Chains A and B, each alone.
Chain A
Amino acid sequence: GESVGLHLPTLSVQEGDNSIINCAYSNSASDYFIWYKQESGKGPQFIIDIRSNMDKRQGQRVTVLLNKTVKHLSLQIAATQPGDSAVYFCAEHLTGANSKLTFGKGITLSVRP
């Protein structure tokens, strides 16, 4: 069946280090992927997206990598800051008559000072 999941529930990193958050998806027909950041008491906030015809996309301090061969998505955060502490979700989108986003379980990123 369709599923989007994250490999680890928590990730702790030292401030200034790079963070890598991984996500696996199972629907090879998904055509669009998004990473969201959710801080306590707030709704998810869009970070970066990538279409299935790309394998890499860079934003400000963030990079998303897509490996369609193994159905793997990752979010890299450079020079992690305390403000990056949050729960991160990957989501996949399948275009079609009932297109919608399917979110995976969140992973908590904790930044140590």
Chain B
Amino acid sequence: EAGVAQSPRYKIIEKRQSVAFWCNPISGHATLYWYQQILGQGPKLLIQFQNNGVVDDSQLPKDRFSAERLKGVDSTLKIQPAKLEDSAVYLCASSLFGGNTRLEQYFGPGTRLTVT
């Protein structure tokens, strides 16, 4: 079974530029998550999709971050404009179920973003 795929693996941009990350979840997984992981900390949920609908985006800085999951499969996360504090690893995860059922999440390798 193929895992969660993410690209690019690394990205360096200047502040105020824009950047986009792509995620392809495990086939058949209905739930997709985007996390932000700052160095030395645990992942923090940014947004959760159930199929192509948003379940939770309460911690997404909506003035600069946006995400979509077209057709309920692949997803993109965009930052525009980027700030220095956005430097982090952006992790995508997927699970077969979500909500109240057992939710073992499978994580991708992440995209390491450096904003200079």
Taking beta carbons and an 8 Å cutoff, which residues of A are in contact with B? 4, 32, 34, 41-46, 49, 89, 91, 93, 95-96, 98-106
CA distance A91 to B93 in the complex (A): 14
Q: Do A44 and B107 have beta carbons less than 8 Å apart?
A: yes
A-B contact count (CB 8 A): 54
C-beta contact mask, B95-115 vs A, less than 8 Å → 1, else 0? 000111011111111100000
Q: Indicate if the CB atoms of B105 and A46 lie closer than 8 Å.
A: yes
Q: Which chain A residues lie closer than 8 Å to B67 at the CB level?
A: none
Cross-chain pairs A/B with CB under 8 angstroms, 19 sampled: A4-B42, A32-B102, A32-B103, A43-B93, A43-B108, A44-B43, A44-B91, A46-B104, A46-B105, A96-B100, A99-B98, A99-B103, A101-B45, A101-B105, A104-B42, A105-B41, A105-B42, A106-B40, A106-B41
B4 within 8 Å of A (CB atoms): yes
Are the CB atoms of B107 and A103 closer together than 8 Å? no
Give the shortest distance, in Å, between A57 (CB) and chain B (any CB).
13
What separation, in Å, do the CA atoms of A48 and B98 have in the docked complex?
18
Contact (Cβ within 8 A) B56 A100: yes
Question: If A43-B110, A44-B91, A98-B55 touch, does A103 touch B105 (CB 8 Å cutoff)?
Answer: no
CA distance A34 to B4 in the complex (A): 19
Assess whether B42 is in contact with A103, with CB atoms less than 8 Å apart.
Answer: yes
Task: Please determine whether A45 and B107 come into contact, CB atoms closer than 8 angstroms.
Answer: yes
Which residue on chain A has the smallest CB distance to residue B106? A46
- Which residues of chain B in 52-110 are interfacial with respect to chain A, using CB atoms and an 8 Å cutoff? 55-56, 58, 91, 93, 98-100, 102-110
